[in-house]
Structure 1
């Protein structure tokens, strides 16, 4: 992607990559519901899994620890560099979830763990259509996101100046976008905010028929 918003997002994450890793790397052990849905997805995954918007590889590595054959892709070269350093046994590439360098029907699973927070709700059908394209029949998509209906501009995060827009998505709008992509919802979780989170968080799992 070369549009100004994607470029601003890429540049912001390049800037914060190392501090992001330091500040976020210890969060998952304090998130029992998040670990539960990741464990459920790990059981469902049948074949290779791709985490889109993988950041520094925290979720990719967690899934690998659960026995999943998983790799990651992220828009930010800086985040990918940190991911490769932190998890040298895993594969990470630079790329965009909007146009994956993956053949049709190739994957047993796709994970978009807070990867859609910088995409407007109106763009979700196109995003999920691309993610559905690379899933083989019977494969599963898991997406986690901030549940709500607002946009939060971020000018400072992880100790740095940034230029980001954080989109909160209504859970039913995400479910509708997933259905429009031809996937069937099999589970959803909406949980209360934890720690510094500013609102409810949600996760949906869907299957490609």
Structure 2
């Protein structure tokens, strides 16, 4: 498969901002109570399903990957940005981190017990989300679990001129309605088990949605 053109912009941008991103991004301990609780729930259901390791897809510098590991999950990280993976390996040498794209995951069919996509799918153009969700379905074992979290909106397309320390970036963000994301996951063969929508408050400027889903067992 030819690499989608948008990935080059995302990779270059996150390579550029990696060091400043690590300085500014919240650690799991600094997240709001609901976000921390959803990560804990995902860790618990992934462990209970016991279908294999959990991939943190779009792991960045590995903070959440390490948090899952601390919760007892057999977790590893994948990110498009080599610089992010370098930071993750430096900070968490006991864990595995790999450079890769969620449009073509370097993972065998049905290898995973879980996938975490934590604020990592919003740079994907909407027309390519079915490709990403098909990869999630392909790599999850039957009974495997997915947690997808991120900003949602009314088909908003954002193109920031700079981010994290004022560095110029060239990626776009696509904020879709929560119901549309549910529909795309359903069409990919993933069954939604819960969703949580957090409206903006004094600590957040945008609506956030978290979805838990599973790959059905074989008949």
- Give the TM-score, by structure 2 length: 0.91
Aligned equivalent of 2:195 = 188
Residues in 2 aligned to 1:111 and 1:30: alpha-carbon distance in whole angstroms: 16
1:56 aligns with 2:58: no
Q: Structure 2 matches for 1:25-174, cutoff 5 A?
A: 25-26=26-27, 28-45=29-46, 46=50, 47-148=52-153, 149-159=155-165, 160-174=167-181
My pick for the range that moved more, 113-122 or 179-188, is 113-122
Residues in 2 aligned to 1:166 and 1:158: alpha-carbon distance in whole angstroms: 15
Instruction: Indicate conservation of the 8 Å contact 1:192/1:201, yes or no.
Output: yes
Query: Does the C-alpha gap of structure 1 residues 31 and 140 become closer, same or farther in structure 2, counting only changes over 3 Å?
Result: same
Residues in 2 aligned to 1:4 and 1:139: alpha-carbon distance in whole angstroms: 30
Instruction: Give SS of 1:89's match.
Output: coil
Query: Does the C-alpha gap of structure 1 residues 196 and 10 become closer, same or farther in structure 2, counting only changes over 3 Å?
Result: farther
Alignment RMSD (CA, Å) = 1.5
Shift, 1:147, TM fit: 1.1
- Would you tell me which structure has more strand in proportion to its own residues? 1
Residues in 1 aligned to 2:31 and 2:188: alpha-carbon distance in whole angstroms: 33
Instruction: Give SS of 2:78's match.
Output: strand
Shift, 1:167, TM fit: 1.1
Q: Structure 2 matches for 1:196-207, cutoff 5 A?
A: 197-207=204-214
Shift, 1:121, TM fit: 2.2
Shift, 1:23, TM fit: 0.4
Residues 95-120 of structure 1 deviation map (CA, whole Å, 9 limit, x = unaligned): 00110111111110011111111012
Shift, 1:3, TM fit: 4.1
Residues in 1 aligned to 2:72 and 2:16: alpha-carbon distance in whole angstroms: 32
Aligned equivalent of 1:7 = 8
Shift, 1:193, TM fit: 2.6
- Number of aligned residues: 209
Shift, 1:145, TM fit: 1.5
Q: Which runs of 5+ in 1 are unaligned?
A: none
Structure 1 runs (4+) greater than 4 angstroms displaced: none
